[in-house]
Amino acid sequence: ETGVTQSPTHLIKTRGQQVTLRCSSQSGHNTVSWYQQALGQGPQFIFQYYREEENGRGNFPPRFSGLQFPNYSSELNVNALELDDSALYLCASSFIMNTEAFFGQGTRLTVV
Amino acid sequence: GESVGLHLPTLSVQEGDNSIINCAYSNSASDYFIWYKQESGKGPQFIIDIRSNMDKRQGQRVTVLLNKTVKHLSLQIAATQPGDSAVYFCAENIDTGNQFYFGTGTSLTVIP
């Protein structure tokens, strides 16, 4: 088991609503990355946070936003939810980028 | 976009046999690779990593081989066990960047 924990584990939201997902990084890790994994696909990079600043972003619209806190935990916020946002959202922590990245168990988001 | 792909979407092996999972990448600037195992309903689990200055790395029952000439990566699992049944992803980091690119994965089934 990694020390990366995510909450909640499952969530159902209605199209148009907003959602906040949370991640606690592994002890000693200062970098958190968020990924979206659609069913049957590999994870897709959303963005990364390092020392509370966004440090790179994948091909996701601005309604996907995030935060990192001084204790290195992180939030992923998604506004104006769409049906296609239904996926497993994964958080990965590492000491710095380009090093071992360990994933949490994910949050399964269903948009109806 | 993603540059990582897997040769075979599914692989079935007899318990006790060795497994080989292959992965092709297209970006010559890729310098760090991680193999992940993902069981149903869980987040990806770190198995082993390798940097581009190496061509082989061994772990417990696993070996990763990197052939930079043909941009190919493989994961060898010795004495495959039923608990090894999962989807395996190779993830690629390009030029010490901040994100990993994942392929669609190979589903390994171990037959008792």
Q: What is the DSSP string of A50-76?
A: ETTEEEEE-S--TTEEEEE-TTS-EEE
pLDDT above 60: residue B4:
no
Q: What is the mean pLDDT of chain B?
A: 89
Question: Hey, are the CB atoms on B98 and A105 less than 8 Å from each other?
Answer: no
pLDDT at position A95: 85
Q: Which residues of A touch B2 (CB under 8 A)?
A: 42
Q: What is the mean pLDDT of chain A?
A: 93
The CA-based dihedral angle spanning residues A77, A9, A47, A31, taken in that order and rounded to the nearest 10 degrees: 110
Q: Are B108 and B85 in contact (CB under 8 A)?
A: yes
Residue type (1 letter), A47 = F
Residue of A nearest to B98 (CA): A97
pLDDT digits (tens, 9 = 90+) for B12-53: 999 999 999 999 987 888 899 999 999 998 999 999 999 999
Q: Are A31 and A49 in contact (CB under 8 A)?
A: yes
Q: In the structure encoding, which two tokens stand for residue A45, read together?
A: 């990079």
pLDDT digits (tens, 9 = 90+) for A40-93: 889 999 999 998 999 889 999 999 999 999 999 999 999 999 999 999 999 999
pLDDT band at A105 (very low <50, low <70, confident <90, very high): very high
